Amino acid sequence: MRIDIITIFPEMFDSVFNYSIIKRAKHKGLTNIYIHNLRDYSTDKHRKVDDYPYGGGAGMVMMIEPIFNCIQSLKKKNNYDEIIYLTPDGELFQQKMANYLSTLNNIVLLCGHYKGIDERVREHLITKEISIGNYVLSGGEIAAMVVTDAIVRLIPGVLGDETSALSDSFQDDLIAPPVYTRPAVFNGWAVPEILKSGNAKEIELWRHQQSIKRTLERRPELLKKREREE
């Protein structure tokens, strides 16, 4: 899978993408991540990428020309399944969307800044808009990191255990069950006996029941959503 990220702060991605799961995916050749400095596509001698909004108002707006130049340059070399703008008013990013994006071959993530981007970019260049939550960040870089991490770990071969991602929280709209490891007893607190029984069928049933119980207690709206879909 190829992921191209357009940003005015490329250095922000250096440390995040060189550790853990994403680093492993890159080393295995399962994903290629390219960071593009939007200022490199500005025609302004000072590499300017923002300007005052038409009609007045506070804040600056990211200009259409550098974004257009960057996207067009990328599209000359690759066919993209989605060109995604990370914005607070986009579609809420959830596990099912991560599942979908992980099946694609090539995507672009555009990181917004300031008061946003020229609306013509959204109208003519963007194919999907994503929000990671109902709050405002200083820019789209952190959101791009979140989306990238969520989808890369789903690519077959990235995780050591191929079934691990399938038992994550929010798969099937359920929260993951509690997990335990050694020692079996610590400070008088014991691991549930069922998990030490060796009965795979009973353990799986227990985990499913715990997922439903935990979802009902912590995120009941997920169960209501699941019922509507069924």
Q: Which of 57, 26, 16, 63 is nearest to 43 (CA)?
A: 63
How confident is residue 173, by pLDDT bands cut at 50, 70 and 90? confident
Tell me which amino acid residue 193 is.
E
Instruction: Say if residue 170's pLDDT is above 70.
Output: no
Superfamily of domain 169-229, CATH level 4: tRNA(m1g37)methyltransferase, domain 2 (1.10.1270.20)
How confident is residue 229, by pLDDT bands cut at 50, 70 and 90? confident
What's the mean per-residue pLDDT of the chain?
93
Q: Which of 73, 63, 69 is nearest to 113 (CA)?
A: 63
- Which pLDDT belongs to residue 172? 74
Q: Which fold has domain 2-152?
A: Alpha/beta knot (3.40.1280)
Instruction: Say if residue 144's pLDDT is above 80.
Output: yes
The 10s digit of each residue's pLDDT in 15-54 is 899 999 999 999 999 999 999 999 999 999 999 999 999 9
**CATH 1.10.1270.20 boundaries in the chain:** 169-229
Instruction: Say if residue 162's pLDDT is above 70.
Output: no
Q: How far apart are CA 52 and CA 62, in angstroms?
A: 9
Helix-strand-coil split of the chain, %, nearest 5: 45, 20, 40
Percent of the chain scoring above 70 in pLDDT: 94
Average pLDDT over residues 91-115: 96
Q: Are 191 and 180 in contact (CB under 8 A)?
A: yes
Q: Is 89 helix (H, G, I), strand (E, B) or coil?
A: strand
How confident is residue 178, by pLDDT bands cut at 50, 70 and 90? very high
Rg (CA), the chain: 22
Q: Is 131 helix (H, G, I), strand (E, B) or coil?
A: strand
Give the tokens for residue 180: 């335990």
CA 131 to chain centre: 9
How confident is residue 167, by pLDDT bands cut at 50, 70 and 90? low
Positive/negative CA dihedral, 37, 42, 44, 45: positive
Q: Which residues contact 25 (CB under 8 A, 6 or more apart)?
A: 31, 152, 153, 155, 158
Q: Are 47 and 17 in contact (CB under 8 A)?
A: no
Is residue 56 left, alpha or beta, with left meaning phi > 0 and alpha meaning psi from -120 to 50? left
Instruction: Say if residue 85's pLDDT is above 90.
Output: yes
**CATH 3.40.1280.10 boundaries in the chain:** 2-152
The 10s digit of each residue's pLDDT in 106-126 is 999 999 998 899 999 999 999
Q: How far apart are CA 118 and CA 122, in angstroms?
A: 7
Instruction: Say if residue 230's pLDDT is above 70.
Output: no
How confident is residue 166, by pLDDT bands cut at 50, 70 and 90? low
